[in-house]
Chain A
Amino acid sequence: MPVDPELVGRPFPRTEPYLVGREKVREFARAVFASDPSHTDPAAARALGYPDVVAPPTFAMVVQDLTLQQLLAAPDTGIVLERLIHAEQRFRYTRPIVAGDELTAQLSITGLRPFGKGAMVTSEAEITDAAGAHVVTATSVLLVGGEDA
């Protein structure tokens, strides 16, 4: 099945709230070889004006992933995990994610164009905090292989 040409503009619900835990931030920081103390030491983060430890910049992917799971679970998109290649990734930040944040993400497909036998899909997640304020927009460009790819 080819990628649904009507995917741009298809409505998706906001994701359920994701509560950012201090130990999760520390675990993620260690996994990306982060050395800055603001990621692990609450006092260092507070000295910078943050309420708790600061997540590494790419932690936003953990929240965006909830939207990619939505996309993969949606019916009749023509997108299947086995034929997916992550080609590009971008983040645009209003502020860093910090422990204690309760984040939701709004998925939208903002770009779709043919690419070889498949398609190039731009999937955007607008991530906001419990007050509804923008935190980060995460954008993935996905190459979806054709049937013979």
Chain B
Amino acid sequence: MSALETETGAVVAERTVHLTREALVRYAGASGDFNPIHYRDDVAARVGLPGVLAHGMLTMGLAVETLVPWLGDAGRIAEYGVRFTRPVVVDAADGADVHVVATVVAASDGFAQIDLTVTQGDTTVLGKARVRVRTD
């Protein structure tokens, strides 16, 4: 496989994913996480949430998948970590848009560090979202 071009500061991947309640139910089924705060307004309200929330692991999963086509091989990913800083509220009618930007922040010795900026509107929803990838 050819080496990746990893110029520091370069945005290497970017996309907006539109989440709907259907997307949350689909992720619940695929992952096995059936916590009702991810599809029931009444339960979300009862536990004091601002609304039905996307699974943090759905946001984490779609964020890194933004990067995989550029990598060309998911096997290049050596490490991936995030902090769940703010929940993504998914409106029943309007859904929610999650925007992902992947930027190279460092590269050396066959590895690059790529930061993922993951936002809903002006709010950053994942903190310290970092991917360490093999570049050789």
Interface size of A in residues (CB-CB distance below 8 Å): 34
> Complex: how many Å from CA A109 to CA B87?
26
Contact across chains for B83 and A87 when beta carbons are under 8 A apart: yes
Contact across chains for B80 and A56 when beta carbons are under 8 A apart: no
> Which of these, A31, A33, A34, A89, contacts B29 with CB under 8 Å?
A31
Interface size of B in residues (CB-CB distance below 8 Å): 32
Contact across chains for A31 and B81 when beta carbons are under 8 A apart: no
Query: Which residues of the partner chain A approach B73 to less than 8 Å between Cβ atoms?
Result: 38, 48
> Complex: how many Å from CA A32 to CA B57?
9
Q: Which of the listed residues A36, A50, A139 has the most CB atoms from chain B within 10 Å of its own CB? A: A36
Find residues 24-41 in chain A having any chain B CB closer than 8 Å to their own CB: 24, 27-36, 38-39
Residue ranges of A at the interface with B (Cβ–Cβ < 8 Å): 24, 27-36, 38-39, 48, 50, 54-58, 61-62, 65, 86-93, 95-96, 139
6 residue pairs from A and B, CB less than 8 Å apart: A32-B27, A35-B65, A50-B75, A61-B31, A90-B79, A90-B80
